[in-house]
Structure 1
Amino acid sequence: MSEQVLKIENVTMQFGGVVAVDNLNLEINQGEIVALIGPNGAGKTTAFNVVTGVYQPSNGAVWFQEKKIIENYPQGKMKKLYKGQHAGEYTHALSPTPDKITQMGMARTFQNIRLWKSQTVFDNVLIAKHCRSTSNVFSAAFRLNYKEEAAQRRHVEELLEIVGLADVKDDLATSLPYGKQRRLEIARALATNPRLLLLDEPAAGMNPQETDELTAFIGEIRDQFHLTVFLIEHHMNLVMGISDRIYVLDFGELIAQGTPAEIQNNQRVIDAYLGVAEDA
C-alpha cells in the first residue's frame, strides 16, 4: 500500500460569517497526481493556503507524511460565529509558518507568477536552496560554508538543465516568455527538494501548445523527482490527461471525488462545473 503523503481532515475555513471551505476531507498517496477543481470562488486556493500555512483553519487538521502538522478549533469570536461541523473534535492549535512547512517537504507555486523580478533565472532558483542551508551568519560571513554553497550552485545548474532553462540562466527572470516563467517558478519550487509539489493553476494564461508542453513536463518531473503532485487547474484537457484522481469543490463543499472517467460522468459535477464554459 502506498504511503499517505497528505491528509486534509474535516477542514473548515471561515472568514467572519463566510464559509470558504466547508468540512473538507481529502487524501493523497505517494506518487499520485491529484487535481482539485471547481468553479471560481469554490475555495480551491483557500484549501492550498491552509495546507501551506498561509491560513490557519477555523477547524480541522492537516497531516503530512502521516504526521499531524496543522490543527485548530473555533476560538475567540469564532466560537459564536462558527457554522461548520466537528466544532468540539479538535482541542489543540498547531500553526507552522509557510517557511517551516517548506522545510518539512512541501513546495508550491501561485496563480500569479511570483518571481524575483530583478534577479536572474539562476539566482531565482539558487535563493530557493537557502531553506536547506545549514550555515549561519558567522559561517557565511567568514566563507566557512563555501563547500555547501558550491554544492548548491552545482545542483541549480543541474536542475536548470533538467527543466530546459540552462540556456537562459543568466537572463532576468521577467525577460522570459510566459511559458518559461511558469517553468522557472516550478524549478524554484523543485529546488527546495519537496516530497509534495502544489501547483496553483500552472497553465493559467498559456496557449494550447504551452499547456500541452506543461502537461508533459508535470508528468516528467513527477517521475524524475519521485514527487507527489497536488494541483488546481481550470484547463480540463490538462486535468483529465494527467490526474490519477480528482476532487471537486463547489461553494467550499466537496461534491465529488474519483478518477477522471468517473468525474467526467458525474452529473452533479457536470451541472456545477463541467457543463459551463471553461475558464481561460
Structure 2
Amino acid sequence: MAQNVLKLENITMQFGGVVAVKSLSLEVNKGEIVSLIGPNGAGKTTAFNVITGVYSPTNGAVYFNGKKIVENHPRGKMKKLYAGSEKGQYHGHLEPTPDKITKLGIARTFQNIRLWKSQSVFNNVLIAMHLRRTSNIFTATFRLNLKEEKKQRAEVERLLKILGLYEVKDEMCTSLPYGLQRRLEIARALATKPQLLLLDEPAAGMNPQETAELTEFIRRIRDEFNLTVFMIEHHMDLVMDISDRIYVLNFGALIASGIPEEIQNNPEVISAYLGESEDSNA
C-alpha cells in the first residue's frame, strides 16, 4: 500500500464571499511526482499557501506523513458566509507558520523567483541551510559553532556540485541566466532537507530547451534526494511527461484526477482549458 506523504482533507479557503478553494481533498504518495493544474485563477497557488502555512484555511485539515499539521473551521462572521462542505467536521485550530512547516520537511519554490538578490549563489543556499542549525546567540557570539558552520559550508558545496551550480557559486544570483536562477531556487529549497518539495510553476518563462532540461532535472533530484514532488505547472508537455498523477482545479473545485492519459482525454478538463466550442449546444 502506498505511503501517504501529503493529504488535504476538505480544504476550503474563503476570503469574505469569495471562495478561492472549495472542499479540496487530495493525496500525494511517497516518491511520486504529482501535478496540480488548472486555468489561471483556479486556486492552485492558494492551495500551496494553505499547505505551507501562508494562509490558515477557512475549513479543513492538512496531514503530513499521517500527522495532522493544519486544521481550522469556520469562525466568527464566516459561520454565516461559509460556502464549502463539511462545516461541522473540524473543531481544532492548528495554524503553523511557514518556518515551522519548513522544519517539518516541506519546502517550496515560488511562481515569481524569490532569491536573496544581494547575495551570491553560495550564500543563497547557505542561508537556507541555517534553518537546520543548532547554534544559538551565545554559541554564535563566542564562535563556538565553527564545527557546525564548516560542515554546512561543505554541504552547500556538495549540493551545488550535484545540481551543476558549483562553477557559478561566487557569482551574484541576479547575474545568472533565468534557467539557472530557477535551478538555484530549487537548490535553496533542497538545502532545508525536505521530504516533500512543492514547485510552483518551475517552467514559467523558460524556452523549450530549458523546459526539457528542467524535466530531467526534477526527475533526477526526486531520485537522488529521495523526494516526493507536488507541482503546479501550466506547461502541459512537462506535466504529461513527468507526472505520476494529476489533479485538476477549476474555479477552486476539483474537477478531475488520474494518470496523464486519463486527464488528457477528460472532456471536463478540455472544456476548462479550451472553453466550450461554438457548436457544443447545437
Which TM-score band applies after superposition, normalised by the shorter structure?
Answer: over 0.9
Provide the residue aligned with 2:280 in structure 1.
Answer: none
Identify unmatched segments of 5+ residues in structure 2. Answer: 277-282
The whole-number CA distance in structure 1 between the counterparts of 2:57 and 2:229 is: 22
Map residues 84-163 of structure 1 onto 2, 5 A cutoff: 84-163=84-163
Secondary structure of 1:56's aligned partner = coil
Q: What is the percentage of aligned positions where both structures have the same residue?
A: 73
Cα distance in 2 for partners of 1:272, 1:76 equals 34
Partner residue in 1 for 2:48? 48
Say which SS state the counterpart of residue 140 (structure 1) adopts.
helix
Deviates more, 1:48-57 or 1:266-275: 266-275
Query: What letter corresponds to residue 80 of structure 1 in structure 2?
Result: K
CA distance in 2, matches of 1:271, 1:181: 34
The alignment partner of 1:129 has SS state of helix
Matches within 5 A, 1:31-46: 31-46=31-46
How far apart, in 2, do the equivalents of 1:81 and 1:142 lie?
A: 55
Residue 243 (structure 1) aligns with: 243
Name 1:2's counterpart in structure 2: 2
Shift of 1:2: 2.6
- The match for 2:75 is 75
Answering whether residue 27 of structure 2 is matched by residue 57 of structure 1, we say: no
Query: Which letter does structure 2 place at the counterpart of 1:69?
Result: I
Q: Which residue of the partner structure matches residue 176 of structure 2?
A: 176
Name the SS of the counterpart of 1:119 in structure 2: coil
In the TM superposition, structure 1's runs of 4+ consecutive aligned residues that sit over 4 Å from their partners are: none
Aligned to 2:231: 231
For residues 193-228 of structure 1, what are the alpha-carbon distances to aligned partners after superposition, in whole Å with 9 as ceiling and x for unaligned? 000000000000000000000000000000000000
Letter in 2 for 1:224: E
Partner of 1:207: 207
Q: CA deviation at 1:275?
A: 6.6
| 1:137-162 deviation digits (Å, cap 9, x = unpaired) | 00011111111111100000000001
Question: Hey, what's the Cα distance between the residues in 1 that align with 2:96 and 2:274?
Answer: 36
Q: Which residue of 1 aligns with 2:279?
A: none
For residues 155-195 of structure 1, the C-alpha deviation after alignment (integer angstroms, 9 at most, x for no partner) is 00000001100000000000000000000000000000000
Matched with 2:272 is: 272
TM-score by structure 1 length?
A: 0.97
Listed as ranges, the gaps of 5+ residues in structure 1 are: none
**CA separation in 1, counterparts of 2:117 and 2:247?**
34
> Could you say which residue in structure 1 is the equivalent of 2:218?
218
RMSD: 0.9
Structure 1 counterpart SS, 2:96 = coil
- Aligned partner of residue 135 in structure 1, secondary structure: coil
Q: How many residues align?
A: 276
Counterpart Cα distance in 2 of 1:109 and 1:37: 16
